[in-house]
Amino acid sequence: MAKLGPTLRLPYSTQFNPTLWEVGHVAWFYDVWIARNPQRHLGLAADPDCPRPEGRLTSADNWYNSSLVKHTTRWDLLLPDLAGTQAYLAASLAETLALLAGEPEDFDHLYFYRLALFHEDMHAEAATYMAQALDIPLPAQLRPWECPLPASVDIALPATTWRLGHEGSDFAFDNELLAHEVPLASFRIDSVPVSWGRFLPAIEAGAVGMPRYLRKEKGEWQALRYGHWETLNLDVAAVHLTWDEAQSWCAWAGRRLPTEAEWEYAVSSAPTFQWGDVWEWTSSRFAPFAGFVAHPYRDYSRFGFEEHRYALKGASRATDPRMAHPKYRNYFTVERNDIHSGFRSCAM
């Protein structure tokens, strides 16, 4: 079980960032896009390269700029200690809130505040991934809670032309645009994500390897959750699964993963479609939609497009509710299993 100590030192991993860097990066993101951004009132029309005054930490741009500071480099930086990082975050938050209080309530003036808030939400959920990967105990109020699922039934949906992607005048991330029509044949899709009760027989049949955080001990299935082996609840959504494990189960069951468009159509058209327990893998590669234009935070989607990633839809129990939206596109590489990922299936 991991004990980080006062320095919060972590072993190197490709799956997460050093703790002090992660927190400092959140504070820097608020500063660089709000307090230090003279064009913040322009919203999407702001020039991301416009000159900025020096920040509250003179080396912050050299430490926390995720577009320039490589992941491998972040582990060797001489960052402020825990107290200094907390002070930086507190000062950034206080200035952000003070500036927000004087802003008109329109899309352009609030755009960067919303972007920075959602960015912090993503990093807060990423902290639960790190805790899972490092066997760090979490108090009950911080753990994603599990809810038993009803029995899954196939929802039959007729052929349609679906508008995939975000449209409207409210906030959207750049990779959600532009909305476009996708023809869909009729299909049948699970009403709920695949539960452990449905998933385990594929392991026992040898069709799926043993997932990273699962074991069978003295005839009992157990899950490793935040440093503790716990009795597995067979009625909850299967979680911490890779894309390949989801694919292997589908091949064993004679089913398939839904596409992004099918998932969106189902969540919007079927009242019995239950989501929000786990991020759900789809069969759709994470790629730009036609007409894609990067927003001022130009690297938000770029690295995802460049790597071999698949889109996940929905939300998990660790996702802030304001982030849970059917149009939102999450994206990870296929081997990730520290994330709160599961899946649902479609009939072949």
Please, are residues 190 and 345 in contact by the beta-carbon 8 Å criterion? yes
Provide the pLDDT for residue 10.
Answer: 81
Say whether both 238 and 90 belong to one domain: no
* 200: its two tokens: 């385990």
- Token pair 């594929």 is at which residue? 202
Instruction: Convert the pLDDT of each residue in 133-175 to its tens digit.
Output: 999 999 888 888 899 999 999 999 999 999 999 999 899 999 9
For the segment 71-92, the average pLDDT, to the nearest whole number, is 95
The residue from 136, 164, 193 where one domain ends is 136
Provide the pLDDT for residue 37.
Answer: 98
pLDDT(302) > 60: yes
| Residue 27 is assigned to a structural domain of this protein | yes
Provide the pLDDT for residue 50.
Answer: 97
Provide the pLDDT for residue 1.
Answer: 46
Instruction: Convert the pLDDT of each residue in 214-255 to its tens digit.
Output: 999 999 999 999 999 999 999 999 999 999 999 999 999 999
Instruction: Indicate the pairing of strand 214-217 with strand 346-347.
Output: unpaired
**CA atoms of 208 and 120, how far apart (whole Å):** 35
Say whether both 198 and 124 belong to one domain: no
Say whether both 128 and 81 belong to one domain: yes
Say whether both 190 and 332 belong to one domain: yes
Provide the pLDDT for residue 11.
Answer: 85
Please, are residues 9 and 81 in contact by the beta-carbon 8 Å criterion? no
Q: Return the CATH number at 337.
A: 3.90.1580.10
Please, are residues 247 and 257 in contact by the beta-carbon 8 Å criterion? yes
| Residue 5 is assigned to a structural domain of this protein | no
Provide the pLDDT for residue 8.
Answer: 79
Residue 346 or residue 6, greater confidence: 346
Say whether both 218 and 317 belong to one domain: yes
- What burial class does residue 123 get, using C-beta atoms within 10 Å of its C-beta: 0-12 exposed, 13-18 middle, 19+ buried? middle
The residue from 108, 136, 164 where one domain ends is 136
What percent of the chain stands above pLDDT 70? 98
| Residue 343 is assigned to a structural domain of this protein | yes
| Residue 66 is assigned to a structural domain of this protein | yes
pLDDT class of 9 with cuts at 50, 70, 90: confident
Residue 299: domain span: 154-347
For the segment 83-90, the average pLDDT, to the nearest whole number, is 96
Between helix 82-101 and helix 19-30 the angle, nearest 10°, is 20
What percent of the chain stands above pLDDT 90? 92
Task: Tell me the three state secondary structure of residue 155.
Answer: strand
Instruction: Convert the pLDDT of each residue in 26-56 to its tens digit.
Output: 999 999 999 999 999 999 999 999 999 999 9
pLDDT(2) > 80: no
Per the structure, the count of domains in the chain is 2
Instruction: Convert the pLDDT of each residue in 282-295 to its tens digit.
Output: 999 999 999 999 99
* Mean pLDDT over each residue of the chain, to the nearest integer: 95
Instruction: Indicate the pairing of strand 220-225 with strand 214-217.
Output: antiparallel
Say whether both 188 and 239 belong to one domain: yes
Cα distance from N-terminal residue to C-terminal residue, the chain: 43
